[in-house]
Every structure is written in C-alpha cells, then in structure tokens.
Amino acid sequence: MEGGRAGFLDPATQFQELYEREFTAVFRTVLAIVLEPAAAEDLTQEAFVRAYRARHRYQPTAPPGAWLHRIAVNTAISHLRRAKLARALPARLYLPPDRREYDQAEAKGVVELALAALTPKLRAAVVLHYYQGFTRDEIAGMLGIPAGTVASRIAKAMVIMRRELAASEQPDDLGRSHSEGILRER
C-alpha cells in the first residue's frame, strides 16, 4: 500500500526514483481495474509514459502517488472504453486483439470474481480506497468527481462484493450458479 504516502519525490527532477518506487502499487491498481495481468503491465508502463511527459506540469497540491494513480486510473478506464467501442464496430472494420468482455474479465480467485462483478469505475473506487488507502476526498480530487459520488460508488461496490463473496462460498451449487448468473446477465 505505497499510495504516495512515503517520502516526497518531485516528478520533475526525481521521476526515475518515483517510477521505481510506485511501479508495483500502480500496477496493482491498474490490474484491479482491468483484471488482465498482461494488459495491466502494458497500461502501467503507458501510464508512467504519460506521467513522464506531463512531469513538468505536476502541481504539488496532491502527493505524487495520488497524481500517478489519477493518470493510471484514467489510462485503464480509457483502455476499457476503447475495447468496448472496438467490439461495437463491425468485425470488418476492426478485429479486436482480445475477445474478453468489457467488464467480465476472467476471474480466478474469489476476490477477483467479486471484483469482476463490478463496473470499472466501481473497481477503481474500491482499490483506491480499500487497498491504496486514499480517503474519499482524495479519490474525489483524483477522479474529478464529488466526494458524495465516491462514497456512493464505494458503498455500492461493497454491497455487490459482499453478496458475491457470500454466494461464491456456498458449499453447494447455489453459490456458483448465482455468480455465473450475474456474469451472464452483464
């Protein structure tokens, strides 16, 4: 849970140190949103490239970690949006590189399955709050939305995740069919 809480590194002059320190934290945030390890690695690098290009425009109103996470979340959500749009195009115009659904990423663990039941924006709010430890106000600043919206997204995500986790832990087929039913409906 690095989240930009450690010693301050100025992106303009210490970007390489910042990159090496925050790489894993940013990767985990991106992976929690896209739920595809290979795409997450590429998007993490892409996010750092965007941050590097913008390093001289960094304003120290937020910690560098929060600034990096904002760029990473935007990069991840843009990627999912492009992937969704690409699938909407006729196959003749565009052949998608990946056949996975927009927010039905292949889930392996129980927690990943619960994350997969959320929309990308809900996943972003959850990982930034519960994993990276950002407050609702910090997340609001990062995502450019009101703090109340962040709170409602977190609450909604928690309701869905609790239900998914409960359903996935049922010993009989009830839980599994419940989760699969939710995924099929999406």
Partner 1 sequence: MRGDPTGDGFAVPSETDVATRLRQEIDTWTPRSRPDWVDLLARAAQAPRDLPRWAVYPAASLALAAILMIAFLVMASLNISLGATPVQSHLP
What residues line the site for partner 1 (CB under 8 A)?
A: 1, 16, 19-20, 23-24, 27-28, 31-32, 37, 40-41, 44-46, 48-49, 52-53, 109-112, 114-115, 126-127, 130-131, 158, 161-163, 165-167, 169-170, 175
C-beta of 115: minimal distance to partner 1 in Å?
Answer: 8
Give the pair of three-digit tokens for residue 3: 């989240």
Distance of alpha carbon 162 from alpha carbon 158, whole angstroms: 6
**Angle CA 58–62–67, to nearest 5:** 60
Residue placing its CB nearer to partner 1 in the complex, 84 or 162: 162
Residue placing its CB nearer to partner 1 in the complex, 32 or 91: 32
Residue placing its CB nearer to partner 1 in the complex, 27 or 134: 27
Residue placing its CB nearer to partner 1 in the complex, 98 or 159: 159
C-beta of 108: minimal distance to partner 1 in Å?
Answer: 10
C-beta of 54: minimal distance to partner 1 in Å?
Answer: 10
Residue placing its CB nearer to partner 1 in the complex, 32 or 143: 32
Distance of alpha carbon 151 from alpha carbon 149, whole angstroms: 5
C-beta of 184: minimal distance to partner 1 in Å?
Answer: 19
- Collect all residues with Cβ–Cβ distance below 8 Å to 50 and sequence separation of at least 6: 71, 75
Residue placing its CB nearer to partner 1 in the complex, 52 or 102: 52
C-beta of 87: minimal distance to partner 1 in Å?
Answer: 20
CB 21 within 8 A of CB 39: no
**Cα–chain center distance at 182:** 20
Q: How far is CA 41 from CA 36, 97, 104, 156, 176, in A?
A: 9, 16, 19, 28, 30
Q: Print the SS3 string covering 13-68.
A: CCHHHHHHHHHHHHHHHHHHHHCCHHHHHHHHHHHHHHHHHCHHHCCCCCCHHHHH
